[in-house]
Amino acid sequence: MLRGSAVVGVAVAAGWSLSACETGPSQRQRDAEALLPHAQAAFRDQAAAQQLAPRSTEYAKALRTVSDQRGEHLKALRDEINRLHSSIADQIESPATTPTASVEALGKQIESSATAAGKTAVGSSGYVAGLLGSVSASCQTLAKVQLA
């Protein structure tokens, strides 16, 4: 009888520990999901700069720089999302075609992108934190130097 109760006790403990295992998304998937809005913002900012360039000729060179840099951000973010969890990269969508009203509005949009990337970087670690910190710093420079 004691042997039987010991076996039952071990079986119950093993079953309980197995049921306590996490079945949610992996850390890699959560990291990829955290990068997704930043990739979408880079795509949106790049498209806005491209659309504004012909309408704001005095800022055409700066807008090309913004477009190029945000395109590089998009590429780096997409590459990392692909590395972490490739199916999430499929969620990076082409931005809506609503044109950005002005260079000033684009500057504010990019500053918002910088703030969001910085906040996510603080809560991240490793390469993801470094990537987002770099994107944040670059966006601040784009907004405050290129579009000033």
Give Cα 104 distance to the centre of its chain: 23
Tell me if residue 101 falls in helix, strand or coil. coil
Question: What average pLDDT values come out for the chain (148 residues) when binned by 10 residues?
Answer: 52 50 83 96 95 94 97 98 93 80 95 98 95 98 95
Query: Residue 83 is part of a domain; what is its CATH number?
Result: 1.20.1260
**What pLDDT does 25 receive?**
86
Q: What global pTM score does this model have? A: 0.82
* Dihedrals phi, psi of 94, to nearest 5 degrees: -65, 135
Structure tokens at 97: 């075609």
Position 1 in a domain: no
Position 63 in a domain: yes
Measured CA to CA, the distance from residue 76 to residue 1 in angstroms comes to 64
Position 67 in a domain: yes
Position 17 in a domain: no
Position 20 in a domain: no
Measured CA to CA, the distance from residue 92 to residue 73 in angstroms comes to 13
State the residue range of the domain holding 114: 25-146
